[in-house]
Structure formats: C-alpha cells, structure tokens
Homo-oligomer: A and B are copies of this chain.
Amino acid sequence: MFTKGNLFENYRKGAATIARSTIGKIRGTYDQLSRTEKKVAQLALDNPAVVSEMTIKELASATGVSTATISRFVKRMDYSNYREFTMALAHTAAEMTPQQNSFPELAEGDSLATIANKTFRFSINSLRATNEALNEDDLARAVIKIINAKTVAFFGLGGSAVAALDGYHKFLRTPLNVTYHPDYDIQLMQAARMTAQDCAIVISHSGRNHETLEIVRELKRNGVAIIVITSYSGSELAQAAAVTFLSLTDEVKYRSEGMYSLISQMTILDSLFMMTVLRSSSRTKPVLTRVRDVIEQTRYDS
C-alpha cells in the first residue's frame, strides 16, 4: 500500500537517476540509432515540448514509424516506459525556457495576465523589502507602548485612511481601547484630547502631508507616544515619532507608489496586532491554543 513515506523514497530514487537531460541522452546515442529511430529522435530534439505532449500513437504517425519501434526506442534511451520518457522530455523542455526577470516593470505589449502578474510581483517585493527593514527593538518598544496605552488612536488621511481603518478594525478584536475616524477635523480633535498615557499610530505614505503633520504636532504637545508608519525616514513626521516603521518598495527609483506601500503598511499593522495579542494575554492562557483562538476570533465575517 502507498504511504507518504515510501512515496518520497520512490521519488528520491527516481530523481537520483536523472543525471543527464533527456535531450543530452538522445544526442549522445543519436548515431547508434537505426534509420527509423533517428526520425523519432530528430522530432524529439526539434520540438521536445510538443513531443512531450503526444501519445505514442500520435508520435508514431507524426514520424511515420510504428508504435513498436518507438516503444523500443525509449527503452534503448534507458527509460522504463513511454510515459517516463515524455515526462522527462517535458522536464527538460521546461528547464530550457528562459527564466523571468525578477524585477517587473509594466510595459507596452503586456497582456492582462502579465499586468496582473507584475502587480502581484511588485507587491511581494515591497513586502519583502519592508520585512527586511524591520528591527526587533522598534517592534518591542512599539508593542510596549501599545499594550500600556489607555487609548490607542489611529490617524491616517487620503490613501493612508485605508490603512488606518484596517488597523482600527484589527485592534477592535483586542481588549484595548481603540479609536479612529476618517474625518480630518475629528482626527485633530481626537489628537487634542489625548495624553501621555495614550498611544497614537500615525500612517502617512510621504510623511509630508500638512494635515497629518498638524495632527502630529498636536499629539506631541500633549506628550502622546507616537508610532509612525511611513515610506520616508527623513520626513518631519518620522522625526517626531517615538518609533518609526518604514514601508518600502524594492526599487528606490519608483518614487510614487503609495499603492504598493499600502499593503506593506497594513502588514506592519498586522504584525503589531499579532504581537500585541500574543504578549498582552500571555498571563491568562497557554500560548499555543491561544494563537488558534485568536485567529478564529479575529475572523473577518463578511
């Protein structure tokens, strides 16, 4: 009977014997082949990808030889059957196709699928870059401030409103006292009401938006602990923060893609959320079961 274990064993054994590429094998034995077998070999060399998808009958009629000859041919090539041969051929054919460029840029002839692929690739690259830029000290300081805050308020305008709303939404699932409102004036009033016991999470792509800076000045005046999520470490906003997290994109030259930094910002918030939950409740419940519970409870219900 089949079990996972011996499946893998079989696979390993199989893989180990594939030392030479199929095409190499054919080339190597080519001139030892008979006249009819050469016809088969030639077609396989010319279009490995096509041949790999043919049945033995199709290949027979395509080359004008009998199926028997082909069956013998693949055995001579050291495959145990025709199926194994076509699989190996497909493998080599796939390897020969050129690998994609790791950095995508949208270009003229792009098909819809390509546009989508590049968009996803860009997002993934941004996440990777952002992740690499995180450091544990910052995370620790941020979590402490969040856990100990009387109130945690989210601030974000324009495009960053989405991230702020998301953060608010996530942290609603914790026992913390959280607040967010999309309107600028109300955000400003909220900032004015906060104290040194509170924590503010401010999200701004450029870090230069006037309204956001106004809010930060108000927060600072009140001694509120400020956690900033932005894409520019040099901005006035970043300077004012107790802790700054950077959302980055892979390539520096792309200077105007708040679009991609948004998901990085959200994933930073996600990380803060997970850390907060795991740390703040670690007295009450064993962690392992708790993680599941947390995820279950925090399910988005729509």
Instruction: Please name all residues of chain B whose beta carbon is closer than 8 Å to the beta carbon of A131 when the two chains form the complex.
Output: 116-117, 120-121
CA distance A194 to B91 in the complex (A): 51
The chain B residue sitting closest to A132, CB to CB, is B120
9 contacts between A and B (CB under 8 A): A2-B62, A11-B47, A87-B90, A116-B131, A120-B131, A161-B169, A162-B162, A170-B259, A257-B295
Number of this chain's copies in the complex: 2
* B-facing residues in A153-178 (Cβ within 8 Å): 156-162, 165-166, 169-170
Instruction: Please name all residues of chain B whose beta carbon is closer than 8 Å to the beta carbon of A134 when the two chains form the complex.
Output: 113, 116
The chain B residue sitting closest to A205, CB to CB, is B300
Instruction: Please name all residues of chain B whose beta carbon is closer than 8 Å to the beta carbon of A111 when the two chains form the complex.
Output: 136
Q: Is A31 an interface residue (CB 8 A)?
A: no
CA distance A112 to B47 in the complex (A): 30
Q: Is A38 an interface residue (CB 8 A)?
A: no
CA distance A302 to B231 in the complex (A): 11
Instruction: Please name all residues of chain B whose beta carbon is closer than 8 Å to the beta carbon of A130 when the two chains form the complex.
Output: 120
Instruction: Please name all residues of chain B whose beta carbon is closer than 8 Å to the beta carbon of A49 when the two chains form the complex.
Output: 11
Among B11, B123, B274, which residue has its beta carbon within 8 angstroms of that of A53?
Answer: B11
Q: Closest 5 A-B residue pairs measured CB to CB?
A: A159-B300, A258-B300, A158-B302, A2-B62, A120-B131
Q: Is A124 an interface residue (CB 8 A)?
A: yes
Q: Which residues of A are interface residues toward B (Cβ below 8 A)? A: 1-2, 4, 7-8, 10-11, 14, 19, 47, 49-50, 52-55, 58, 61-62, 83-84, 86-87, 90-91, 94-95, 105-108, 110-113, 115-117, 119-121, 123-124, 127-128, 130-131, 134-136, 139-140, 143, 156-162, 165-166, 169-170, 203-206, 209, 211-212, 254, 256-259, 261-263, 266-267, 270-271, 274-275, 278, 286-288, 291, 295-296, 298-302
Contacts A105-B291, A159-B301, A162-B162 known; 11 new A-B pairs at CB < 8 A: A90-B91, A113-B135, A115-B275, A116-B131, A123-B270, A205-B300, A205-B302, A212-B302, A256-B295, A259-B270, A263-B267
Instruction: Please name all residues of chain B whose beta carbon is closer than 8 Å to the beta carbon of A261 when the two chains form the complex.
Output: 300
Among B1, B14, B61, B212, which residue has its beta carbon within 8 angstroms of that of A61?
Answer: B1
Are A266 and B257 in contact, with the CB atoms below 8 A? Answer: no
Are A162 and B169 in contact, with the CB atoms below 8 A? Answer: yes
Instruction: Please name all residues of chain B whose beta carbon is closer than 8 Å to the beta carbon of A258 when the two chains form the complex.
Output: 298-302
Instruction: Please name all residues of chain B whose beta carbon is closer than 8 Å to the beta carbon of A143 when the two chains form the complex.
Output: 112
Instruction: Please name all residues of chain B whose beta carbon is closer than 8 Å to the beta carbon of A115 when the two chains form the complex.
Output: 271, 274-275, 278
Are A116 and B259 in contact, with the CB atoms below 8 A? Answer: no
Are B267 and A302 in contact, with the CB atoms below 8 A? Answer: no
Instruction: Please name all residues of chain B whose beta carbon is closer than 8 Å to the beta carbon of A19 when the two chains form the complex.
Output: 113
